[in-house]
Amino acid sequence: MLEVVASLIRGPVFLAGETINCEVTFTNTSPDNNSGDEVLAWSSVQIICQCTVSESRVMLPRKNALSTEEVSTSGCETSFVPNRGERGLTVLCTKPKILFCDLKLSPGMKRSYQFEEVIPTDAPPSFRGQAVKYSYKVIVGTQRLEKTTKIVRVPFRVLVLYGLNDISVYNENEEISPSNPFLHNHRKENSVLDVALQVISTVTARKAPHSYNITNARGRVAKFLLFKQAYKLGEDIVGMFDFSVGTVTCVQYSVTLQSEEQVSEECRRRLSQGTAVTSYVKHQEMCLHTVRTHMNIPIPLTATPGFMTDIVCQRWRLHFEFVTSLDEISGPDSLPNDGGERQWQGPSTLNVETMVWDLPIKIFPTNPIHASSVTLMKTTASIQMNN
């Protein structure tokens, strides 16, 4: 009996442009030395990205209409079709790399091989939306002589930083210096990850705060201060509300982190089709008679940063809702001189109205090692090849 194990060495999350490393181990698990050698004809590895769509929302152009199900049924089971059994459209398929030909393993013997492949910088990110889904897998195919081909699939996640391919990565004269002056930098060239993290850090660095006056037809509700508009996965979005400048009484407010998934016009099932909105984190607070307060919204490491492909575009926003009173609400009287407490009884009913506001923000990838710490993806997959 043969066992094939494929394992991602660093983790299941990568940045487009990085080199993915996968170790593939073949083991003859037969305990009996008299069972004879096991012989494998060949083994090949490659990366694929599958795109599946909601048929009620997306209509792919005719040039992209060929599905993998149609492809997979055109060959025999002894050929290596990496997307056999996969749903949807194959939007990325790297060239197969042969690990070996004619491998002989004695009982208890194992052999390991290293697979390396660069993830294209123009590849789509991993994404699970309401209309479109992009998913990546490392595909390991192997075959006994004149037997059916067996496939091992290891899923992984891809983050994309757009414009990274326009940066000179391997320029020895433009080395990224270490932030610690007491450390020596022995690197002769910058890796894709080094450059990407430097770009992300620069883009998402805290700059001048942005101030917004929130008003409705009856006057000024509040002033909102956002410390920056570009974030990376895992960061907190921090903002401050100042109600002391308001002329309209605000009773309650909420802020929700939302993504907008918009299908391109040529791929929409209906021309009037709207944008799909997904909510992630919500901050809600009662603010009657509040002078100043703040909100703190964490960006999930599992979310997908903003991106655009031929089929879909995703953007991010903060969705605000303000509940304002149409009537004047008197506040509590001044505190007694003896320093004691006084209870204030609010009105039993309020005549209110709700106003909404959407503020666009930008979300970028983070260090893929950090994103790997919260993923539920397994880094190892295996199959048993019986006689």
Question: What per-residue confidence (pLDDT) applies to 320?
Answer: 97
Task: Using alpha carbons only, give the angle 301, 302, 303 rounded to the nearest 5 degrees.
Answer: 95
Rounded CA separation 344/357 (Å): 32
The answer to whether residues 38 and 149 belong to one domain is: yes
Q: 357 and 208 in one domain? A: yes
Residues 377 and 356 in one domain: no
Q: Are residues 127 and 16 in the same domain?
A: yes
Residues 118 and 212 in one domain: no
Cα-only R_g, the chain: 28
Residue 171: inside a domain: no
Which residue range forms the structural domain that includes residue 309?
202-328+350-364
Q: What is the pLDDT of residue 381?
A: 95
Q: Is 163 exposed, middle or buried (0-12, 13-18, 19+ CB in 10 A)?
A: exposed
Q: Give yes or no: residues 215 and 296 share one domain.
A: yes
Query: What is the reported pLDDT for 180?
Result: 56
* CA dist list (Å): 85 to 72, 73, 81, 215, 376: 7, 9, 9, 55, 23
**β-bridge partners, 350:** none
- Distant-in-sequence, close-in-space partners of 56: CB < 8 Å, separation ≥ 6: 269
What's the structural domain count of the chain? 2
Mean pLDDT by 10 residues, the chain (387 residues): 93 94 93 79 94 90 50 50 82 93 91 95 94 96 88 96 63 47 52 89 87 94 94 95 93 96 91 91 93 95 95 96 88 61 75 94 95 90 85
At 250 the pLDDT is: 93
Q: What is the pLDDT of residue 271?
A: 83
Dihedral (C-alpha) 199, 205, 210, 216: value to the nearest 10 degrees? 70
Alpha carbons 84 and 5: distance in angstroms, whole number: 19
Within a domain: residue 183? no
Contact 218, 354 (CB under 8 A): no
Closest CA to 94 of 154, 137, 38: 137
